[in-house]
Amino acid sequence: MTSGGAVAGAGRYAPSPSGNLHLGNLRTALVAWLCARTSRRAFRVRVEDLDRARDAGTANQQLDDLSAIGIDWDGAVVYQTDRGASHQAAIRRLDDAGLVYECTCTRREILAAPSAPHGAPGAYPGTCRDRTDAERRAARDRIAPRLPALRLRSPLADLRDGVEFRDVVLGAQRGEVDDLVLQRGDGTVAYNLAVVVDDHGTGVDQVVRGDDLAPSTPRQVMLQRLLGLPTPEYAHVPLVLGPSGARLAKRDGAVTLGELASAGVGPEEVVAVLARSLGLAASGERPTAAALAERFDPSALPSAPWTFSPDALGSDA
């Protein structure tokens, strides 16, 4: 990752308001903030609220929690639902290039269909790809009043050869790209399109996020290329695991700032624990996020998951 002089781009953290942030989310947010600040980038926060069923009040709590551990950001918080015009403009651009088609398949039909010749297991098999105008009209009539989804007509060469990208943490990565959904039948723009458009629209050229999202990155790189957009620098960091070895979750006890505060553990101790998990603090230290930026080396990011134990809180271990 770049260091030294000023960089025109930005890093970001983009939580989905589906629940309060837990220690794993906060750790990833801290790493993203450190990567941006130590490379002289701006830092953005975007709330990925395309699913309107989610509680908007949760987003405010997430922002408060980020502030509580010392994470600040530049400019106003971006809400994905406010960026619909940009999302639709991208779909129109792809459509004008002949890269969009209607799809009336249900999830059950996709799972039951044979795989595409070059697709990975579970990839869209291309059922609706080559329909005639008459066949499309008939399919649309069959599902009315439900509307068809819109899919990307992925170039066949990329379906066969895959898309490669370089990850700061994971190294060289490659993945196949099927005809992914751009817009659902209910009109909601799909995550992969929205994140590509929104990162570019807010000047983001450094994406630091959990490694569970690495498999979706080839799809996003494909969209960037088709839309003529630059590909950001990617760093997918390992997830935080609970005591059982599974991904950290609410079942693992007090794992959110609110729950920890009720147990007498303040944000300063949380930052200290996260810092120790990243090798940025010694036993007994209580560094602030700003202090961590003075000692952060992105090349030394851990490449293995961190297993959280409640014993780590309130101790100097």
pLDDT, one tens digit per residue, over 114-153 is 765 555 656 788 999 999 999 999 999 999 999 999 999 9
What is the mean predicted confidence (pLDDT) over 241-254?
Answer: 85
What is the mean predicted confidence (pLDDT) over 160-179?
Answer: 90
**pLDDT value at residue 254:** 76
Known binding residue 13? Answer is yes
Known binding residue 12? Answer is yes
**Of 66, 24, 19, 14, nearest in space to 252 by CA:** 24
What is the greatest pairwise CA distance in the chain?
71
pLDDT, one tens digit per residue, over 184-233 is 999 999 999 999 999 999 999 999 999 999 999 999 999 999 999 999 99
Known binding residue 103? Answer is yes
Known binding residue 310? Answer is no
**CA 184 – CA 193 distance, rounded (Å):** 11
pLDDT band at 4 (very low <50, low <70, confident <90, very high): very low
Q: Which two tokens stand for residue 23?
A: 């220690």
pLDDT over 80 (residue 26)? yes
pLDDT band at 155 (very low <50, low <70, confident <90, very high): confident
**CA 140 – CA 186 distance, rounded (Å):** 14
Residue 173 β-bridge partners = 165
Residue found under tokens 């980020």: 66
**Of 60, 43, 52, 106, nearest in space to 84 by CA:** 52
Mean pLDDT of the chain: 90
**CA 223 – CA 217 distance, rounded (Å):** 10
Q: Which domains does the chain have, with CATH numbers?
A: 10-82+238-312 (3.40.50.620), 85-193 (3.90.800.10)
What is the mean predicted confidence (pLDDT) over 98-119?
Answer: 82
pLDDT over 60 (residue 317)? no
pLDDT, one tens digit per residue, over 274-314 is 999 999 999 889 999 999 999 999 989 988 999 998 877 76
**CA 227 – CA 90 distance, rounded (Å):** 7
**CA 181 – CA 85 distance, rounded (Å):** 18
Known binding residue 92? Answer is no
Known binding residue 254? Answer is no
pLDDT, one tens digit per residue, over 90-101 is 999 999 999 999
- Cα-Cα-Cα-Cα torsion 215, 217, 218, 221, nearest 10 degrees, comes to 180
pLDDT band at 240 (very low <50, low <70, confident <90, very high): very high
Known binding residue 128? Answer is yes
What is the mean predicted confidence (pLDDT) over 166-179?
Answer: 93
Q: Which two tokens stand for residue 165?
A: 């990208």
Known binding residue 105? Answer is yes
Q: Find all residues with CB under 8 Å of 176, minimum gap 6, and list them.
A: 118, 119, 120, 123, 158, 159, 162, 163, 218
pLDDT, one tens digit per residue, over 68-90 is 999 999 999 999 999 999 999 99
pTM exceeds 0.85:
yes
Q: Which two tokens stand for residue 173?
A: 């990565």
Known binding residue 79? Answer is no
**pLDDT value at residue 316:** 47
Strands 181-183 and 206-210, bridge-based pairing: unpaired
pLDDT band at 111 (very low <50, low <70, confident <90, very high): confident
**Of 179, 201, 200, nearest in space to 190 by CA:** 179
Q: Is 154 exposed, middle or buried (0-12, 13-18, 19+ CB in 10 A)?
A: buried
pLDDT over 60 (residue 159)? no
Known binding residue 234? Answer is no
Known binding residue 209? Answer is yes
